[in-house]
Amino acid sequence: MEVLTVYQASKYCSVSPKTISNWIDEGHINAFRTVGGHRRIRKEDLDAFLRKQSIPVPATLEAGDRRKILVIDDDRLIVETIVRSLEEEPHDYEIISAADGFEAGLQVSHFKPDLLILDIMMPDIDGYEVCRRVKSDPATCHMKIIVLSAYMDEQNYEKMKQNGADVCFSKPLSLEKLKKEVAVLLGIL
C-alpha cells in the first residue's frame, strides 16, 4: 500500500496542495492522520477518486528531495496549525512533531530534521535546553532552528540567540511569515 503526503498527492494530480486539502475536508478523498497529526492519503483511494471524477490517473509518482521539519510545542492546536500550513506549501516537506523537549531529543536523533520549529516553554526540557543541545552537538549543529514563543521579550530573545536559535518570533505569528522563513532557512527561497 503506497501512502502519499498532501504535497505528493498534489504533484500526482497536478493541483495545488490546498486543493487536495479541500478535497479531503469536503469528504471527496479518504485520508487518515498519523500519530503526529499529519494527513496521509492511500494512493489507491486517490486513484479511485480520480477515476470517479473522470480525471486521468497519472502513470507515475515523482520522488522528490524532501526537507525534514520537526515542530516542537506542547500546544496541540498550534502544532496542527503549523503542520497543516506547511503541508499545503508547494515544497515536499516531511513533517513530524514532538510535544516536549524530551521527545524532541529523541526525534532529533532518529528523524534527523533539517529544521526545528520550537517553543520555549514546554514540560520536561525547555526550548533553551533543546536549542543548546542541538547546536552544541557536531552531529546536529547544522540544523536550523526557528523559535516561536508567546514570551519573546528582549531577555528571552537574547537567551535563545545565545543558545543558537537562527530566528526568533513572538506568537502569534502570521503563517505566511513563518512559511516564508522556513523556505528561506531551508534554502528554497
pLDDT tens digits, 130-181 = 999 999 999 999 999 999 999 899 999 999 999 999 999 998 889 999 999 9
What pLDDT shows up at residue 28? 94
What pLDDT shows up at residue 26? 94
Amino acid, single-letter form, for residue 81: T
Residue 61 has pLDDT above 70, yes or no: no
Distance between CA 74 and CA 71 in Å, rounded? Answer: 10
Sign of CA dihedral 71, 111, 64, 33: negative
67-185 under CATH 3.40.630.40, yes or no: no
CATH domain 3-52 topology:
Multidrug-efflux Transporter Regulator; Chain: A; Domain 2 (1.10.1660)
By DSSP bridging, strand 144-149 and strand 115-118 are: parallel
pTM score, two decimals?
Answer: 0.72
Residue span(s) of the chain under CATH 1.10.1660.10 come to 3-52
Cell numbers representing residue 106 in the block: 529523541
User: Are the C-beta atoms of residues 115 and 67 closer than 8 Å to each other?
Assistant: yes
User: Are the C-beta atoms of residues 70 and 104 closer than 8 Å to each other?
Assistant: yes
Residue span(s) of the chain under CATH 3.40.50.2300 come to 67-185
Run of H or E residues at 67: strand 67-72
